[in-house]
Amino acid sequence: MTNRDRSIMQFIKFGVVGVSNTFIAYFTYVLICMMGFNFHIGNLAGFVTATLNSFYWNNRYVFKIEENESRTWWKALAKTFVSYGFSGLVVTEILLIFWIDVIGVSSYVAPILNLFITVPLNFMLNKLWAFKKEK
């Protein structure tokens, strides 16, 4: 299998994991919003639960370590939180403010729109940095 084929397969697997992350983050977000909390709090709670889910499955399934390779799990977890923090909090918050406060999109639809920007960004950050194999 070529490197290009491996990357395509990783992106597909990343998408499968991402679907579960999306449901987890969105369910948490909606639950928190329905409890009367601000959408910013919902976004933070969704971020934490989805990032933990993402790390587990990406580490075990998408960017798994092959024989003769190594990765320090806690470094990968820290990098996962930093990369998702950038895309899942900073970029997402800016986009939520734009969609909800500027454009007037429903706060329940806005997170779905964000996926078109954050999914490719997250894949690149995870592949090239968070789960990069150590030498």
pLDDT tens-digit profile of 61-98?
A: 888 877 777 778 888 889 988 988 888 778 988 999 99
Residues 6 or more apart from 114 whose CB is under 8 A from it?
91, 92, 95, 96, 99
pLDDT at 135: 65
What is the pLDDT, as a whole number, of residue 129? 85
**Residues whose CB falls within 8 Å of the CB of residue 110, separated by 6 or more in sequence, listed in order:** 95, 96, 99, 100
Its pTM stands at 0.70
Which parts of the chain have pLDDT scores under 50? none
